[in-house]
A and B are shown apart, each in its own frame.
Chain A
Amino acid sequence: MQTHILSWLIWLPVAGIVAMMFVPRERKDIIKVIAAVATGLQTWVAVILLLNYDSSLGTFQFLEKMDWIPAFHIHYSLGVDGLSLPMVLLTPLLSFLAVFVSWNIDRATKGYFALFLLLDTGMIGVFLALDFFLFYVFWEVMLLPMYFLIGMWGGPQREYAAIKFFLYTLVGSVLMLVAMLALYFTCGQTFDFITLSQTAPEQLQGVTWWGLSAIRVIWVLLFIGFAIKVPIFPLHTWLPLAHVEAPTAISVILAGILLKMGLYGMLRINYGFLPEAVWWFAGTLAVLGLINVIWGALCALAQKDLKKLVAYSSINHMGYALLGMAAVVAAGAMQGENVQAAQAGLAGAVFQMFNHGTISAMLFILVGVVYDRAHHREIEGFGGLAKPMPIYAGVTMVAFFAGLGLPGMSGFVSEFLSFVGAFPVFKVIVILSTLGILLNAAYFLRAYLKIFFGPLNEKYATIPEINGRELFTVVPLAVITIGLGVFPHLFLNLVKNTIDVVITQVVQLGNLF
């Protein structure tokens, strides 16, 4: 039976934009309501998708396929599996919450929300596309609104931040474009994900360009393109800047969804089409994961600006996911076919993507709450806020402890699985990475101590407590974080069969030595 549920997910925000066009720009209330309704409906559709998703299968479901540009074999092709499903659920949810986070945007409101909805479409399109060209188009569609949202509604250095974000991503896009075309021409002129995952590993076998293995060349091009998004050291410097300058809601989206596109792209495309190179690259990936963990944590420890601290914590947290991804090689013959470890590592990586989405979103929202009141984010500039803002202090404690990987919260489970998975293959790297769990605690608790504990800073004796709207944006995320921390199988059951598909792909098609 042909359903169009995935198309609904993609085009609902666009319908919102169209509806907005008929609203005069000064009716800001109506514009906000439209944005809320569009993303709310999208979230509802995502929940329906979740309820109808058959987790016993690891393959693509709810497929849609239409010709788009037949001359180049380009299709409008959509589908969802366990790799994309978590992000397909998270994108509408975070967009919906981000609308409420943006409730106080008063400048050019119409433009803001129109771009915001366009961004939403671009993001969810990336996760749903099963055609490389379509994927690329959505990837670019998401880029432009992001550029304007940072550049026009951001902080004092917004233009510098926006252009830096843009140029970085541009480099990535160009490399991805080249890789896409290379795959297109070497693997039977197709952009279709499913076909490519079957043909590319064999078609590219033994092909060399200028003496270099084609598989590795394409892998590196794609990897750099995706690594910029993750971001992986040393391609990460756009991130703290963009976060610091972006408005709160955009930081939420940036950290919650955009960063995951890089990892999603790697798992879908690098792992899917170039499994042989996974064996070649896994060690490097693990080392990069280690560097992200330590470098991000050390940078976070040095920050004086709370938002920058949270931004660097993202770099740190993505490192754990990279470690988990590298663990897939444990399933190979060389490593004693430790399928257990591969499952744990990949599950950890995918789970970490989702968890970082909820946790970092919480963190950024909470930074925004105090910034709206105090108009600064200097960690040293507060003190004793637990007294006037006990609820805010409590919620922030939940978010910080989630960030430092406290057991009972979802972040712990994903980090734990990543470590358990990577350990049999990358012992030394994992042991060094465990330093991260100390540094994580150090930077979060240090910031918490300075902001909330100690004698009350008299300047903030009457600072207003977190309000209902703000709580509404954080509490669902906190509930998810704790819920999945105690019952992680609710999440992992959705993805485990697809993880097996990825492992099979990497092991069977990649081990063609």
Chain B
Amino acid sequence: MNIFIQYGLAIYLLPLAAFLIQIFWGRRLPRKGDWVSIGAVLLTLVLSTAMLASLLLDLNPDFHQEASFTWLDLGRFQIRVGFLMDTVTVIMLFVVALISSASHIFSIKYMEGDPAYSRYYAYLSLFTFSMNGIVLSNNLLLLYVSWELVGLSSYLLIGFWYEKPSAALAGMKAFLTNRVGDIGFFIGILLMFTATGSFLYRDMFAGVAAGTIAGTTLTLAGIGLFMGAVGKSSQVPLHIWLPDAMEGPTPVSALMHAATMVAAGVFMMVRFFPILTPDALLVVAYIGGITALFASLIAITQTDIKKVLAYSTVSQLGYMILAVGTGAYVAAFFHLVTHAVFKSNLFYGSGSVIHAMHHGLERTHRHDLDPQDMRNMGGLKAKLPLTYWSMVASTLAIAGIPFFSGFLSKDQILAGTLAFAEHHPVHFLLPVFGFGAALITAFYMTRLIFLTFHQEPRHPEVFAQIQRAPFEMALPLTILGTGSLYVFYTLPSVNPFGGEGWFQRLVEARDSLAGGPAADWMAEQMHHAHLPTMILSIAVALAGLVLGWLMYGSRRISAEALARRFPRLHDLSYHKFYVDELYAKLLYDPLLKLADFVGWLDWDWYDKKIIDGFGRWTTRIARWVGTADYDGLDQGLVDGVGRTLRAVGGGMQRLQTGRIQNYILLATAGVIIILLSQVF
């Protein structure tokens, strides 16, 4: 077993060990055992950094190591599972370890004093373990298993404060919504396995290349697998769980619901890009594009700081999915990486704000105020300077401003959509979705910054009590805020516009095996579209920033007046286009009603009326037969049979042990009759 696989195994098992130690003995350990989980995740960070460093020395995009073993062997039916180590795996492992470490450290202060502190860290470790499983897997089975375990840890962490009904409900909603997607995922797996006879990606790719699975079946399999991503990466129409997931502790939101878990769907699509047919890709592109625009429209009017970020995440994930669909799948992965850093930083920043607000509210005994509502904030720049600057850096990144990381990856995605639309003018909407969302993103992020950090404090007494972030929170904010700068993604090049660097050298696009675009062709098209895209995207981002500044900075345009002027539009956005209400009306309620009906049908109608009806009916016949033939037949036999038959119905009301003997008598009589029938 070579060294990368060994590292992978260690990365896989360390958090699992931490989980087991924490869940069983955590409460009895010093510091409630947080150092176990933190130690484990830091070790994975060290190991993945080492691997990434070794890749950076080589810059070999074809790096590939794989190891499998037979997990199940039924003779002909075999399941092999294992790890796949390539550049994508290693980069993703590093991202997960980095964000996860940040989350573990940030939580020390954020979760301080929680009665279930060790359980919290246990769940974090469980998540890290499951997420690494998704990244490391070289087969659909381990992928699916880890996929569901990520769902479990998400369920546990969203509902961590289970006494709060909304949190408990949000956890359940997340799990169930994900399961809807997983049904499609599962069917995709079944189609793939049935065609290729293996769960290994390698065999799956070979099968597609050889045409073992092709045409509509392959399209359906691809869409099935994509449904899993729709659930996990919170795409329309399964996006409803992610905003509710903000009920969980904020470091959890930063880790899972911004950077890693929700990126798993994108990660999977990046892995599977070569086997997606053009038809499947088109579905992917439209779902992603619609999600990007739709979610950003909702983010405009939200007042809860985490909700804004949540919808922003949904929108950005839509971007990545859109990129996969248009063939720019390396750009999707690039955006996944940059987004993981700046978006988790935005969440840590919001966590720092909420933490400060929470303590401020406690000291002033203002329990009526919501610490997450931006309408209660304002002017925090003076109190939380580090948080402010860190968040500004990430805001500029997400808005797509040059010199920041998001600009690089967003630019490539938009170039991909533009190139795609150039060749398929019918699909002109795809770049419209992309650029539209870019404009709105810049706008609502500016709004967030101004509402939170600028303007005058809305509750001066609370404002006076706000204290700056402790070291455990400042550290991740510093590191990740700095990580929003472009240069970390372009080294050794320092050109902020070139889109060249270690990432592009390590991750190379591969040709589609299913009739999708070839890598070289795609690269050329994107190169052509590069310049117009850049000009357009900078213009769009600046327009968003300026509009935000006009409305919330200089307040030359009144947001309130606009809302009053277009109440319908404002309500639609504020109420998230009423999707939850719609689902409740069209899906949940009918399902529960159907269940109630089936339950009634089963128990009250079928059993009571039909089954018991047999009993009553038999009793009636028995009485009739008994009366009519009483004198005609042998008394004992009639008595016996009659009583037995009556027992059939009569027993429904009463129990009498004597009837069992009648049953045996009847059975014996049956045997005799059959024996006789054979003789004659």
Identify the A interface with B (CB < 8 A): 144, 147, 151, 159-160, 162-164, 166-167, 170, 173-174, 177-178, 181, 185, 234, 237, 240-241, 295, 298-299, 301-303, 339-341, 343-344, 347, 384, 386-387, 401, 406-408, 412, 419-420, 423-424, 430-431, 434-435, 437-438, 441-442, 445-446, 449, 452-456, 488-489, 492, 496, 499-500
Contact = CB atoms under 8 A, between A and B. Distances in A.
B674 A181 contact: yes
Interface string B581-613: 000000000011011111110110011000100
B606 A237 contact: yes
A406 B152 contact: yes
A163 B651 contact: yes
Contact of A295 (B149, B592, B598): B598
A177 B670 contact: yes
A407 B607 contact: no
B222 to A, nearest CB: 16
Contact of A299 (B168, B180, B182, B598): B598
Nearest to A294: B598
B186 A419 contact: yes
Interface stretch (B159-167, B260-268, B310-318): B159-167
A496 B73 CA distance: 9
Contacts of A401: 152
A434 B74 contact: no
Contacts of B76: 339-340, 343
A396 B660 CA distance: 39
B206 interface: no
Interface of B: 71-77, 144-146, 148-149, 152, 155, 159, 162-163, 165, 168-169, 172, 175-176, 179-180, 182-183, 186-187, 190, 193-194, 197, 591-592, 594-600, 602-603, 606-607, 611, 615, 648, 651-655, 660, 663, 667, 670-671, 674-675, 678
Contacts of A455: 163, 165
Given A339-B76, A453-B168, A302 B606 contact: no
A437 B182 contact: yes
Contacts of A303: 599
A237 B607 contact: yes
11 contacts: A164-B652, A178-B670, A181-B674, A237-B607, A237-B611, A344-B77, A347-B74, A412-B148, A423-B193, A441-B179, A454-B165
Contacts of B652: 160, 163-164
Contact of A298 (B72, B75, B595): B595
Contact of A343 (B77, B148, B655): B77
Contacts of B159: 453
Nearest to B663: A170
A406 B165 CA distance: 24
A386 B162 contact: yes
Nearest to B654: A159
A438 B168 contact: no
Contacts of B595: 298-299, 301-302
A147 B655 CA distance: 11
B5 to A, nearest CB: 20
Given A174-B667, A431-B187, A435-B183, A445 B145 contact: no
Across the A-B interface, the 3 shortest Cβ-Cβ residue pairs: A302-B599, A453-B168, A407-B145
A423 B194 contact: yes
Contacts of A453: 159, 162-163, 165, 168
Nearest to B193: A420
Nearest to B675: A181
A492 B175 CA distance: 30
Given A299-B598, A434-B187, A453-B168, A489 B72 contact: yes
A186 to B, nearest CB: 10
B165 A441 contact: no
Given A159-B655, A343-B77, A453-B165, A181 B671 contact: yes
A406 B148 contact: yes
A213 to B, nearest CB: 19
B309 to A, nearest CB: 25
B176 A407 contact: no
Contacts of B172: 445-446, 449
Contacts of B144: 407
Contacts of B194: 341, 420, 423-424
Contacts of B678: 185
A173 B667 contact: yes
A430 B165 CA distance: 35
A498 B143 CA distance: 31
Given A339-B76, A423-B194, A453-B162, A167 B615 contact: yes
Contacts of A423: 190, 193-194
Given A167-B651, A488-B71, 19 more contacts: A163-B652, A177-B671, A181-B674, A185-B678, A237-B603, A301-B591, A301-B592, A302-B595, A302-B596, A302-B598, A340-B76, A344-B74, A384-B163, A387-B163, A407-B149, A420-B193, A454-B162, A454-B163, A492-B72
Contacts of B179: 437-438, 441
Given A163-B655, A430-B190, A437-B186, A449 B671 contact: no
B143 to A, nearest CB: 10
Contacts of A339: 75-77
Given A339-B76, A454-B165, A298 B598 contact: yes
Contacts of B71: 488-489
Contacts of B674: 178, 181
Contacts of A387: 163
Contacts of A185: 678
B660 A144 contact: yes
Contact of B190 (A170, A408, A420): A420
A167 B648 contact: yes
Contacts of B182: 437
Contacts of B671: 177, 181
Contacts of A147: 660
A163 B73 CA distance: 45
A386 B161 CA distance: 11
Contact of A489 (B73, B146, B598, B651): B73
A492 B74 contact: yes
| From B175, B594, B597, residue with most partner A Cβ within 10 Å | B175
B125 to A, nearest CB: 15
Given A234-B606, A407-B144, A438-B179, A496 B75 contact: yes
Contacts of A449: 168-169, 172
A237 B145 CA distance: 35
Contact of A174 (B155, B600, B670): B670
Contacts of A488: 71-72
A456 B603 CA distance: 32
Contacts of A431: 187
A241 B187 CA distance: 35
A302 B595 CA distance: 5
Contacts of A437: 179, 182-183, 186
Contacts of B155: 445
A445 B75 contact: no
B186 A407 contact: no
Contact of B175 (A181, A237, A445, A499): A445
Contacts of A181: 671, 674-675
Nearest to B190: A423
A499 B148 contact: no
